[in-house]
């Protein structure tokens, strides 16, 4: 699909360069490997194959390129997908086929389905086949069953603080991995907790406001659908600490579908699962695994390719399905 | 004459039953309690506990069975009981000996809540 469309901004309520019509148009393309980028207040879209049209391409000039995968649920074997290892391998193939090789990967949680050691082992094994060798993880609620996350921390929590949060820098972009799946209260949503919030405030205190920020956590940090627990109780406090930054990208998983929202300088994005899809908010009785015809499954699972091109206001986020 | 006898014959078992049920006979009441103290089921399906509120007598064993295609847990709000992770068709049982109201939830999907009222 090659589209080069110039959209006139009609009603820019948030003063962020995207109006509702442009945003919805962008959302419709998201699942087919299209890229929406703001350039000088104008929304432009490009197909995945024309990524190089973006001011010289992401790989050129030492720009940043990474991939987000999520919700591999290794160990799940019900009708919605009896072969989650196969679809995770397909995701790795997709990653290895990207024109601009990503430097590293983020896994936004639910790596395993039942927190079993062999499930984590299988994912580690499959991801070894991906070109990007560095993988940064945050846990999903399925990764911290039975042991309050002890096993997860042992495997993936080196250098992390408290319940497993941490930050790192890549080519001038500051990455913050957060944990919002521990100590969940009855009737509640995801939660960051006081200790982690204090750490966030401290972690970004001395950063220049021009530093691009990428936050990644399992449960969405915006209120997607509270009735199904799709939100984080105290994320507003975390976002308040990031208010000074000109570019904040929040990458989440958990809901097994692609969703995007822009609020001021913050772009929220949720990834598809590599295991099974879930229904859209309110479109089913519950947020359980959604069965689709077998031939359609891989077109609803996917990976997210993220590129930062210096000089652009926002990170370019491109979703690709496995089919 | 016959009719009267017939009525009496019919009435006798009814009267006998009434006497037995109305009595404080330890034997019958005890077996009734025993019947109630057998396992009561809560079905976990579609991200919900069914029934959401369950009322039982003290001494009852409640068994939760996961019929959903995703794992769940049964965790008491006040740390009174806690199941391991229940995959599809796995069960967890707890015997409630003390009267009270026991709220619980699924620690994986905390929006799922339930209540056992023990009388």
Given pLDDT bands bounded at 50, 70 and 90, which one contains residue A318?
Answer: confident
Residues B55 and B31 reside in one and the same domain: no
pLDDT at A120 over 70: yes
Portion of chain A with pLDDT greater than 70, in percent: 80
The CA angle A213-A235-B46, to the nearest 5 degrees, is 120
pLDDT digits (tens, 9 = 90+) for A230-247: 999 999 999 999 999 999
Residues B53 and B100 reside in one and the same domain: yes
pLDDT at B7 over 70: no
Question: Is the CB of B88 inside 8 Å of chain A's CB atoms?
Answer: yes
Q: Which of B111, B112, B113, B116 to mutate to test the interface with A (most CBs of A within 10 A)?
A: B111
Q: Are A107 and A66 in contact (CB under 8 A)?
A: no
pLDDT digits (tens, 9 = 90+) for B41-91: 999 999 999 999 999 999 999 999 999 999 999 999 999 999 999 999 999
* B76 to chain A: closest CA residue: A186
Residues B12 and B46 reside in one and the same domain: no
- The pairing of beta strand B60-66 with beta strand B40-45: parallel
The first and second tokens of residue A127, run together, are: 């991801």
Phi, psi values for residue A243, rounded to 5°: -60, -30
Please report the pLDDT score of residue A132 as a whole number.
Answer: 95
Please report the pLDDT score of residue A24 as a whole number.
Answer: 43
- Closest approach of B58 to chain A, Cα-based (Å): 24
Tokens 């019929």 -> residue? B67
Separation in Å, CA A259 to CA A108, A120, A139, B47: 15, 27, 20, 22
**Cα gap A242→A248, rounded to integer Å:** 8
Please report the pLDDT score of residue A28 as a whole number.
Answer: 39
Strands (E), chain A: 6-7, 34-39, 42-47, 64-69, 104-107, 134-137, 166-170, 173-177, 213-216, 248-252, 259-263, 266-270, 302-308, 316-321
- Closest approach of A308 to chain B, Cα-based (Å): 34
Q: What is the mean pLDDT of residues A157-164?
A: 93
The hierarchical CATH code for the domain A58-321 is 3.60.21.10
Chain A and chain B share a number of CB contacts under 8 A equal to: 56
Please report the pLDDT score of residue A26 as a whole number.
Answer: 44
pLDDT at A139 over 90: yes
pLDDT at A2 over 60: no
Which neighbouring-strand residues pair with A7?
A43
Question: What SS3 class is residue A267?
Answer: strand
Mean residue pLDDT across chain A: 84
Residues B25 and B46 reside in one and the same domain: no
Residues B58 and B100 reside in one and the same domain: yes
Residues B44 and B73 reside in one and the same domain: yes
Residues B42 and B31 reside in one and the same domain: no
The first and second tokens of residue A236, run together, are: 């507003």
Please report the pLDDT score of residue A37 as a whole number.
Answer: 44
| Largest interatomic CA distance in chain B | 74
Please report the pLDDT score of residue A266 as a whole number.
Answer: 94
Residues B47 and B91 reside in one and the same domain: yes
pLDDT digits (tens, 9 = 90+) for A95-112: 999 988 899 999 999 999
Residues B31 and B83 reside in one and the same domain: no
Phi, psi values for residue A167, rounded to 5°: -140, 160
List chain B residues with CB under 8 Å of A80.
69
Residues B20 and B72 reside in one and the same domain: no
Question: Is the CB of A254 inside 8 Å of chain B's CB atoms?
Answer: no
When CB atoms are compared, the residue of A114, A189, A288 closest to B47 is: A288
Residues B28 and B48 reside in one and the same domain: no
Sign of CA dihedral A191, A196, A197, A201: negative
Please report the pLDDT score of residue A101 as a whole number.
Answer: 86
Q: Identify the H or E element spanning A125.
A: helix A117-127
Tokens 């077996």 -> residue? B31
By the 10 Å C-beta count (0-12 exposed, 13-18 middle, 19+ buried), B7 is classed as exposed
Q: Are B48 and A286 in contact (CB under 8 A)?
A: yes
State the total domains in chain B: 2
- Residue B15 sits in which domain range? 1-36
Please give the torsion angle defined by the CA atoms of residues A12, A308, A174 and A148, in that order, rounded to the nearest 10 degrees.
Answer: 90
pLDDT at B116 over 90: yes
**Cα gap B82→A219, rounded to integer Å:** 24
Residue A25 CB contacts under 8 Å (≥ 6 apart), including other chains: A7, A43, A45
Residue spans per domain, chain A: 1-53, 58-321
Find the helix packing angle between A117-127 and A84-96, rounded to 10°: 30
pLDDT at A220 over 70: yes
* B69 to chain A: closest CA residue: A78
Distance of alpha carbon B97 from its chain centroid, rounded?
Answer: 13
Please report the pLDDT score of residue A185 as a whole number.
Answer: 93
Prediction pTM value: 0.80
- The enclosing domain of B106 has a CATH number of 2.60.40.420
* A276 to chain B: closest CA residue: B70
pLDDT digits (tens, 9 = 90+) for A8-57: 444 444 444 444 444 444 443 333 344 444 443 344 444 444 444 444 34
Residues B9 and B62 reside in one and the same domain: no
Question: Is the CB of B77 inside 8 Å of chain A's CB atoms?
Answer: yes
pLDDT at B12 over 90: no
């Amino acid at each position: 699909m090659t589209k080069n469309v110039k959209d006139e901004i009609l009603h820019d309520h948030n003063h962020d360069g995207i109006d509702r019509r442009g945003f919805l148009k962008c959302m419709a393309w998201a699942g087919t490997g299209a890229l929406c980028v703001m350039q000088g207040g104008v929304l432009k879209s490009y197909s995945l194959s024309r990524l190089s049209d973006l001011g010289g391409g992401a790989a050129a000039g030492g720009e940043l390129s990474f991939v987000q995968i999520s919700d591999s649920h290794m160990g799940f074997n019900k009708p919605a997908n009896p072969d989650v290892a196969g679809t995770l391998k397909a995701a790795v193939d997709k990653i290895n086929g990207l024109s601009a090789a990503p430097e590293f990967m983020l896994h936004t949680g639910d790596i395993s389905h039942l927190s079993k050691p062999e499930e984590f082992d299988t994912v580690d094994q499959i991801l070894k086949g991906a070109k990007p060798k560095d993988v940064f993880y945050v846990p999903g609620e399925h990764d911290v069953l039975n042991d309050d996350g002890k096993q997860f921390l042992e495997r993936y929590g080196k250098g992390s603080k408290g319940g497993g949060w941490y930050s790192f820098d890549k080519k001038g972009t500051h990455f913050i991995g957060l944990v919002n799946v521990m100590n969940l209260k009855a009737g509640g949503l995801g939660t960051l907790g006081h200790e982690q919030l204090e750490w966030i405030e401290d972690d970004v205190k001395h950063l220049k406001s021009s530093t691009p920020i990428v936050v990644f956590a399992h449960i969405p940090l915006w209120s997607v659908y509270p009735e199904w627990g799709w939100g984080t109780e105290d994320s507003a406090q975390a976002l308040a600490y990031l208010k000074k930054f000109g570019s904040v990208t929040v990458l989440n998983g958990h809901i097994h579908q692609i969703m995007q929202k822009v609020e001021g300088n913050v772009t929220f994005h949720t990834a598809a699962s590599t295991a099974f899809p879930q229904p859209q908010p309110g479109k089913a009785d519950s947020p359980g695994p959604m069965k689709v015809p077998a031939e359609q499954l891989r077109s609803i699972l996917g990976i997210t390719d993220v590129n930062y091109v210096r000089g652009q206001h926002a990170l370019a986020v491109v979703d690709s399905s496995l089919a | 004459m016959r009719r009267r006898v017939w009525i009496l014959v019919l009435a006798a078992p009814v009267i006998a039953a009434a006497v037995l049920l109305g009595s404080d006979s330890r034997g019958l009441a005890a077996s009734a309690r025993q019947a109630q103290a057998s396992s009561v089921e809560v079905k976990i399906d579609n991200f919900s506990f069914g029934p959401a509120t369950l009322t039982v007598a003290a001494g009852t064993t409640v068994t939760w069975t996961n019929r959903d295609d995703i794992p769940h847990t049964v965790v008491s709000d006040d740390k009174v009981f806690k199941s391991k992770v229940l995959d599809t068709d796995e069960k967890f049982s707890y015997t409630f000996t003390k009267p009270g109201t026991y709220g619980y939830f699924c620690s994986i999907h905390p929006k799922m809540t339930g209540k056992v009222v023990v009388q």
